[in-house]
């Protein structure tokens, strides 16, 4: 009997991610920005002075895509490029004070989306879900970057930091 696709974890994960992206895109368009632009601003706020190449790697976007987005954000006065003090070929990026309102929009939109997405889900369930998603992310990321012979990889079990144990609920 074929598996029930409505209950397949990977299909649910993919569908959920698509719905969240679509909702976020519509929310950001109402503020005159794209989700990608606001994601770049949020990353630069958390990690100032990244190079365009470093930002592209973190965002998992092509350098050309990052370049175009940074050009737009710079034209809007939201991002500033600075020459790297060690290597003048490298641009270091940071948000400008004018980025404050869009960054506030990000915070408000994320809180609203979190509230909508988690209606009716107990906090302990959310913790377990977050733990499971971190494990999936780590497993897939490890597999992607692993140099194991691809012909034999389906039978190889990779070691990760994820365990069957419940997430750590200690308050720190």
Q: What percent of the chain has pLDDT over 90?
A: 47
Report the DSSP beta bridge partners of residue 93: 50, 81
Question: What percentage of residues in the chain have a pLDDT greater than 70?
Answer: 83
More confident residue, 107 or 81: 81
Q: How confident is the model at residue 2 (pLDDT cuts 50, 70, 90)?
A: low
Q: Count how many Cα atoms sit within 13 Å of the Cα of residue 89 in the half-sphere of its side chain.
A: 1
Q: Is the pLDDT of residue 4 over 80?
A: no
* Confidence (pLDDT) at 148: 47
The average pLDDT across 1-7 equals 69
* Structure token pair of residue 161: 């930091």
pTM, full prediction? 0.67
How far is Cα 50 from Cα 27, in angstroms, rounded to an integer? 27
Domain boundaries of the chain, sorted by first residue: 22-141
162/16: higher pLDDT: 16
DSSP state string for 33-97: --HHHHHHHHHHHHSTTEEHHHHHHHHT--HHHHHHHHHHHHHTTSEEEEE-SS-TTPEEEEE-G
Contact 59, 66 (CB under 8 A): yes
Q: How many CB atoms lie within 10 A of CB 77?
A: 11
Instruction: Please give the class, per CATH, of domain 22-141.
Output: mainly alpha
């Amino acid at each position: 009997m074929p598996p029930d696709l409505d209950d397949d974890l990977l299909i649910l994960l993919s569908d959920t991610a698509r719905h969240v992206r679509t909702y976020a895109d519509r929310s950001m368009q109402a503020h005159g920005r794209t989700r990608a632009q606001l994601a770049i601003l949020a990353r630069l706020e958390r990690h100032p002075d990244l190079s365009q190449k470093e930002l592209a790697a973190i965002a998992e976007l092509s350098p050309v895509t990052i370049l175009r987005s940074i050009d737009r954000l710079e034209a809007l006065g939201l991002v500033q490029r600075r020459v790297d003090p060690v290597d003048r070929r490298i641009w270091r990026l940071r948000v400008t004070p004018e980025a404050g309102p869009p960054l506030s929009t990000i915070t408000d939109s994320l809180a609203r989306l979190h509230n909508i997405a988690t209606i009716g889900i107990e906090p302990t369930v959310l913790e377990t879900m977050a733990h499971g998603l971190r494990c999936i992310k780590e497993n897939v990321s490890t597999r992607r970057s692993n140099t194991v012979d691809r012909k034999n990889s389906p039978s190889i079990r990779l070691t990760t930091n994820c365990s069957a144990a419940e997430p750590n609920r200690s308050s720190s």
